[in-house]
Structure 1
């Protein structure tokens, strides 16, 4: 995926070098600071315009795309934006979204995992065989299924770092091998029905946040956004860098609070927010914290930006790659378990079809760069909402899979084009 990428963890070099940016964008230079804190809302608007012109688009294209998709499908079928349909849309987004979150991690490193669909199907098969056929306790069966993905991810990482086999090749081989193992496990039976009414199946089909809990989550989410922004502002102010004013932080938090409360209220008109989708959102938030607030996350972006620069900075490149592949495998297996819970079965078709492509497409459409070094855990959330909205809208129109594939492919191509143009703009502004 990236050029001149060497996975070997060589010795520390003789001369130091700067590490790559930790969040996909360089910090402001001392001679080009713009104190947003002094400009208030007007300064924030101006800063936003400058970032857009320099190619730092953030989630703007995805948000605009979601609005356009909602308007079009609502005009074609008034059922699209009903609370009942949106609840189902969120339910269907959780499993593939969890898989896509793992894809975000390897894409940040400039690598790829083409086998996440097969890994999810294999974990689904492990769950059915161990729980139903072998009589294991459901908790142990789930743990074994998820562990299988982590072990396979570790295997990928070892092959990649020790032997230098491209991730494209090693995971493509895994796609075929583990698909075969999935078919072998299920055998002539083809599928295993999970016991209906059990806690796992109920979680995947019928468990929703109580209305009060949904509102509490909305308030907490807005509060966390405000506190995180406040802490970031204080850190940047101490470092004499540009920062966002408290006024802007408050306005942003209030806007998000209103949005989250309205979303919770509207979904509560039906069954409410699915717990399975909430689990996916929590995973995204945890991953975002790890990527943006820990040394591991900074090392991830550094390696994705430049392997050699990261190695010269003293980063254990091999360990970073291993951790990313392990987490990707673990999240793929978790997505398989969630999918089995949603469908109440483990079948030979699990993880096949468009699962693999949708997981990868969601990460890219959400804003994670194919070139490495840039991305966000929220890419998985935004991207899967785009893909699932397209799929859901076309299903309501009684259209076949053909237009869905073509439209999703077009959206993916547009996302990559925007990423390429933004990257070119950042290069021209000296920020890549």
Structure 2
């Protein structure tokens, strides 16, 4: 193929020709979900329901973001739910019973998550245990430790007026919401332009300027619409801002740092990455540490919403929904492909289905079956996309 032709080919068409369909199916699914449920119930797109949806997705989405870090390596983490509950419990115990400062309590919980990830990474790389077995043992072991810590009362309540509980009951003023939107749009566009300049200087194919502009304009419209809708209710929740910041930060980490490139390389072909001089062991350990730390962060956000931790913290379907969100959002189960934004898109799909069916008073069993069908479809699309480019 002529290099000049490659440079001039519209970016979306280049993506489809490579067989990398990215987030387009997820976006289409979101549009379909919005149309179907808004037709069946006019409250689905109301300001109150969308604001509540934004609150609900933060904790699970943060855990899903950690799952993505592990899936990109072609591994799995079945302990994320238990780790989130355990770390939230540790935070609550030292804050409520030991009188620690809330920030110190949160720091200890995040450090505990990182330590657990380090242990899992060590067992994976040094003892050469499969990640499935390592994290399955973690799922049971860390859940058991949580039950041990809560054995006396079973539930510990956080002060409703305390710093940690206020995380889920804080709403941005209008001017700050618009400032955040402007920062995200300008920051995203600036990073994309800078990346284009670097690729152009290196003689690599670049994304057309018009596509970068269209993408920034679309992002501005979506974020602006979200702010307008939520401002009609309580405003933009702080939890959503925290989650969005994590997504943007990890997207930049994965796409614009050596560590991120190494993660994709190891997930694509670990042996080739090793021969290229990449420290595969270090990358795997760091990825598991980041995954468990994000699981701990998700547990903190969940505890903030409930203003308590109990024996069900991190249990139930938390793990399954987090993994489903990561996969539905476009992260490949086979490793080497996916973006941090998959956590946002995937959890938005799941929570939208949950919210819509709740408004329609549909039984939870049906919700689980529909979510399972969406998950199976997402994996099928990923498997077909890996077979080769679209012709």
What interval of TM-score do these two structures reach, taking the shorter chain for normalisation? over 0.9
Which of 48, 52, 60 is the aligned partner of 2:12?
48
Match of 1:65 in 2: 29
Whole-Å Cα distance in 2 between the matches of residues 280 and 317 of structure 1? Answer: 29
Which one is further off, 95-104 or 124-133?
A: 124-133
Distance 1:374 1:175 in 2: 26
Residue deviations 1:206-238, cap 9 Å, x none? Answer: 211111111111122221222222222222222
1:392 to 355, 366, 380: 355
Provide the secondary structure at the position in 2 that maps to 1:101.
Answer: helix
CA contact (8 A) 1:129 1:186 kept: no
1:233 aligns with 2:205: no
SS of 1:425's partner is: coil
1:146 aligns with 2:146: no
User: Quick one: distance in 2 between partners of 1:319 and 1:339?
Assistant: 30
**Aligned counterparts of 1:247 and 1:74: Cα–Cα separation in 2:** 33
**CA distance in 2: counterparts of 1:353 and 1:169, whole angstroms:** 20
Name the SS for the 1:163 alignment partner: coil
Q: Deviations over 1:31-56 (max 9, x none)?
A: 585223xxxxxx52xx4234224321
Q: 2:170: which partner in 1?
A: 207
Q: Please give the residue correspondences for 1:1-400 in structure 2 after superposition, counting only pairs within 5 Å.
A: 33-36=5-8, 43-44=9-10, 47-204=11-168, 206-400=169-363
Distance in structure 1 (CA, Å) of the matches to 2:178 and 2:120: 42
In structure 2, do the counterparts of structure 1 residues 32 and 416 end up closer, same or farther at CA, with 3 Å as the change threshold?
A: farther
Please report the TM-score for the alignment, with normalisation by the length of structure 1: 0.87
Check conservation: 2:102, 2:163, Cα contact below 8 A.
no
* Partner Cα separation in structure 2 for residue 108 and residue 208 of structure 1: 34
Distance 1:254 1:296, change over 3 A: same
Structure 2: gaps of 5 or more residues? none
Distance 1:176 1:33 in 2: 55
Q: Which moved more, 1:184-193 or 1:362-371?
A: 184-193
Give the structure-2-normalised TM-score: 0.96
| CA distance in structure 2 between the aligned counterparts of 1:250 and 1:213, rounded to whole angstroms | 24
Contact kept? 1:201, 1:341, Cα under 8 Å? yes
Give the distance between the partners of 2:257 and 2:249, measured in 1 at CA: 11
